[in-house]
């Protein structure tokens, strides 16, 4: 009979409490603001909409909760186990990664708070989306199965898309006037369009690879998956290597579409053109960096049994990407496009380092 222990809930209890507090503040603030605008309730006080007037208030609360959560995580040093039916795993190595990401997110929120105080152009919706991303994305390092990883990364993708939706685009009244299809609105619509479809196609490929792995191995748990694939190379239960080559290609393409690595990087240029600089900084320095770190761990550790196929695919993709970027590098005429190409070039360099480690 399946059962749940109290210890299965303890690790995520502070995280769930933080989410509940932020979502409660967010919806309470929106309801109060609506009532204030429509005069449905004359008893609404200014205290109820103080979060709307000062978005940095909720950031400071999140920084305080993050510091308390970091102290709470120190209690799990030396603890190694799986929980929630082996969907999550914790050990010292994963705990260190979890702590590093939380410390980095706390520092980023501190910089965001300073930026908002200088130029107060961001709404509470934008700050709310940032906080949700910083809470969701460290959990991927604790995922013990490919299905759990996909579930968590989809939560992050939805939060990223919501952040792009609520990103404030500044319109110049002299240039904008009544022309809806101005350069500002086109960039904003391109951001939503490319982010949605890139997330969709990458999710389809990852779901297909999950189904393919489960059909062959009967599980998506990283350790068991590596054991079954390595054993198959000795027993030749599946004679054809095309299955594993196709599986590796599907996983790699799904990952590089999520990351926007060359040669599939054109949508990323459009994203950078339509985002404010704070969103670009967050997208590059937090989301992309953390997700690329998890991608590296997946290639080197979680899918180590497929490295024979993965390094060949990565090498071919990297060579094509280098040639393609060099052909377009001198056509850059925007600073945001330069930042996008800089990120793509750095990602290719890190992929080449991964290939060197494998070899």
Q: What is the pLDDT of residues 79-133, one digit of tens each?
A: 777 878 888 888 888 888 888 888 888 888 888 888 777 766 677 788 888 888 8
pLDDT in tens, 46-59: 444 444 456 777 88
Find out whether 354 and 300 touch, Cβ atoms under 8 Å: yes
DSSP secondary structure of 317-358: HHHHHHHHHHHHGGG--SHHHHHHHHHHHHHHHHHHHHHHHH
| Domain parsing of the chain, residue ranges | 1-168, 188-359
What per-residue confidence (pLDDT) applies to 49?
A: 45
Q: Using pLDDT thresholds of 50, 70 and 90, give the confidence band for residue 185.
A: low
What 3-state DSSP class applies to 81?
strand
Poorest-pLDDT segment among 184-198, 217-231, 306-320? 184-198
In percent, the amount of the chain with pLDDT more than 70 equals: 81
pLDDT at residue 121, as a whole number = 67
State the helix-helix crossing angle for 242-259 and 183-217, rounded to 10 degrees: 150
Q: Which residues contact 179 (CB under 8 A, 6 or more apart)?
A: none
DSSP state of 276: -
In total, the chain counts a number of residues equal to 359
Q: Which residues contact 223 (CB under 8 A, 6 or more apart)?
A: 144
Instruction: Evaluate whether 19 touches 135 at the Cβ level (below 8 Å).
Output: yes
Q: Are 215 and 136 in contact (CB under 8 A)?
A: no
Mean confidence (pLDDT) of the chain: 77
For residue 36, give both structure tokens: 């204030």
């Amino acid at each position: 009979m399946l059962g749940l222990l109290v210890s299965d809930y303890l690790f995520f209890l502070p995280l769930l409490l933080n989410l509940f507090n932020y979502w409660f503040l967010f919806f309470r603030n929106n309801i109060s603001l609506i009532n204030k605008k429509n005069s449905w309730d004359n008893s609404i006080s200014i205290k109820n909409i103080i979060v709307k007037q000062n978005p940095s208030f909720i950031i400071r609360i999140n920084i305080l909760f993050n510091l308390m959560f970091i102290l709470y995580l120190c209690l799990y040093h030396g603890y190694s186990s799986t929980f929630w039916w082996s969907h999550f795993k914790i050990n010292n190595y994963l705990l260190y990664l979890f702590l590093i990401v939380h410390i980095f997110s706390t520092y980023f929120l501190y910089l965001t708070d300073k930026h908002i105080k200088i130029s107060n152009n961001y709404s509470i919706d934008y700050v709310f989306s940032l906080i949700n991303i910083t809470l969701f994305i460290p959990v991927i390092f604790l995922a013990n199965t490919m299905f759990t990883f996909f579930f968590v990364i989809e939560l992050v993708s939805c939060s990223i898309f919501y952040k792009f939706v609520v990103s404030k685009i500044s319109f110049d009244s002299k240039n904008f006037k009544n022309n809806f299809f101005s350069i500002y609105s086109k960039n904003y619509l391109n951001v939503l369009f490319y982010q949605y479809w890139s997330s969709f196609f990458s999710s389809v490929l990852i779901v297909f690879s999950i189904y393919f792995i489960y059909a062959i191995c009967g599980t998506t748990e990283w350790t068991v998956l590596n054991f079954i694939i390595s054993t198959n190379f000795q027993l030749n239960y599946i004679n054809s290597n095309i299955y594993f080559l196709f599986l590796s290609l599907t996983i790699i393409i799904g990952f590089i579409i999520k990351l926007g690595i060359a040669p599939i990087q054109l949508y990323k240029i459009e994203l950078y053109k339509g985002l404010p600089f704070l969103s670009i900084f967050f997208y590059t320095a937090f989301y992309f960096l953390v997700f690329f770190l998890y991608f590296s761990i997946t290639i080197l550790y979680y899918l180590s049994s497929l490295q024979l196929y993965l390094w060949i695919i990565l090498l071919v993709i990297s060579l094509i990407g280098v040639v393609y970027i060099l052909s377009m590098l001198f056509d850059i005429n925007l600073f945001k496009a330069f930042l996008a190409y800089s990120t793509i070039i750095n990602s290719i360099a890190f992929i080449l380092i991964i290939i060197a480690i494998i070899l």
